[in-house]
Amino acid sequence: MDPDISEVARRAGVPASTLRYYEKKGLIASTGRHGLRRQFDPDVYERLALIQLGQAAGFSLDEIAQMFAGGAPQIDHAQLAAKADDLDRTIRRLSAMRDGLRHAANCPAPSHMECPKFRRILKAAASGAFRPRDGSPA
Amino acid sequence: MDPDISEVARRAGVPASTLRYYEKKGLIASTGRHGLRRQFDPDVYERLALIQLGQAAGFSLDEIAQMFAGGAPQIDHAQLAAKADDLDRTIRRLSAMRDGLRHAANCPAPSHMECPKFRRILKAAASGAFRPRDGSPA
DNA sequence: CTGCCACTTGAAGTCAGCTTTAGGTCAAGC
DNA sequence: GCTTGACCTAAAGCTGACTTCAAGTGGCAG
């Protein structure tokens, strides 16, 4: 028997409301109804995993829907490489921040403003060095 | 003469609407008015840099406002260390994603589903390995 | 056959961080 | 003195990814 929405929710760890939302967005499809109730093909689990993976990679649901658009998932290699580069920039930015935070957490200066390193970082922030590029998460 | 809002906007690269929003939130303060028009202390530039830095580090505006709450910026060392750890987790997660994307971008398999590495990553996604922890950006 | 309750729906609400809009004020230049 | 237009306000709107709500439906146990 094909799983119903609560079964999919339980097994995939995704709330039923989210599954309905994904269906409306065209990210997943139900195979039919049993009365009112949706029934899902077990393939939906793979779909959901792809969605979660895509999200983790920083793709929006709309972008993910595009990938699913043509039958079997078509994922453009250039698009993947571009997203990898986005991630790389984000990682570098976050790494710099993390190092700055670690320093500030251990800095012996009485106030952060008296620490030269902090002031240097602050100046970088003022000049926009840490502004996320478009396409970066957060 | 103290700068007015458009001067601050121009020099700090922050829209006037954002400055008003920050003022309402208590993140910055104007020193007075010239007619209706706000006047700002030049200190505001440092404030704005701190705000941008805090945002880049993943703090919410509310958290940043808390830090500003007691006269000179009080930034708790434990809080900084905790945020650094958050960032570290995020960085590791994103690095794994980036590597996965790079592989997929160059993978010779006709479909991603036929690549063992991709399938392995997909399984990890299904098991929630990439779900952002609470406190992580994006 | 009846009642329960898990499911259904569309619409509205949530969150953060802003931006936009509509209508108003007023310092400064002519 | 009059016009201009940059500034002001409160309130509403926006984005993305959902969640919540109120009201309805219907399969199945008893």
* pLDDT, tens only, B118-136: 999 999 999 999 988 877 7
Q: Could B105 and A138 be called an inter-chain contact, meaning their C-beta atoms sit closer than 8 Å?
A: no
Task: List, for residues A58-95, the tens digit of each pLDDT value.
Answer: 999 999 999 998 766 667 889 899 999 999 999 999 99
DSSP H helices, chain A, are: 5-12, 16-25, 44-56, 61-68, 77-106, 116-126
Q: How far is the CA of B37 from the C1' of C28 (A)?
A: 14
Instruction: Supply the CATH classification number for the domain A5-68.
Output: 1.10.1660.10
> Are residues B3 and B11 in contact, defined by beta-carbon separation less than 8 angstroms?
yes
Residue B13, φ and ψ in degrees, nearest 5: 70, 30
Give the minimum alpha-carbon distance from B33 to chain A in angstroms, rounded to a whole number: 25
Check residues 9 to 38 of chain B and report those whose beta carbon is under 7 Å from nucleic acid strand D: 16, 20, 36-38
Give the minimum alpha-carbon distance from A35 to chain B in angstroms, rounded to a whole number: 29
> Are residues A96 and B58 in contact, defined by beta-carbon separation less than 8 angstroms?
no
What is the pLDDT confidence band of residue A135, given thresholds at 50, 70 and 90? confident
Please tell me whether any atom of strand D lies within 7 Å of the Cβ of B47: no
Examine the pLDDT at B73 and tell me if it is beyond 80. no
Task: List, for residues A20-49, the tens digit of each pLDDT value.
Answer: 999 999 999 999 999 999 999 999 999 999
Q: Could A112 and B75 be called an inter-chain contact, meaning their C-beta atoms sit closer than 8 Å?
A: yes
A vs B: CB pairs below 8 A: 138
Give the minimum alpha-carbon distance from A69 to chain B in angstroms, rounded to a whole number: 15
Q: What is the number of residues in chain A? A: 138
Q: How far is the CA of B45 from the C1' of C27 (A)?
A: 26
Q: How far is the CA of A116 from the C1' of D20 (A)?
A: 50
ipTM rounded to 2 decimals:
0.90
Cα(B133)–Cα(B138) distance, integer angstroms: 10
Residues whose CB is below 7 A of strand C: A 4-7, 16, 20, 36-38; B 15, 17-18, 20-21, 34-37, 55, 60-62
Q: What is the pLDDT of residue A1?
A: 82
Query: Cα B80 to the chain's mean position, in Å?
Result: 14
Residue B109, φ and ψ in degrees, nearest 5: -60, 140
Please tell me whether any atom of strand D lies within 7 Å of the Cβ of A61: yes
Q: Is A115 exposed, middle or buried (0-12, 13-18, 19+ CB in 10 A)?
A: middle
Nucleotide nearest to B34 (CA to C1'): C27
Task: List, for residues B11-23, the tens digit of each pLDDT value.
Answer: 999 999 999 999 9
Place of tokens 């098991």: B127
Cα(B54)–Cα(B80) distance, integer angstroms: 10
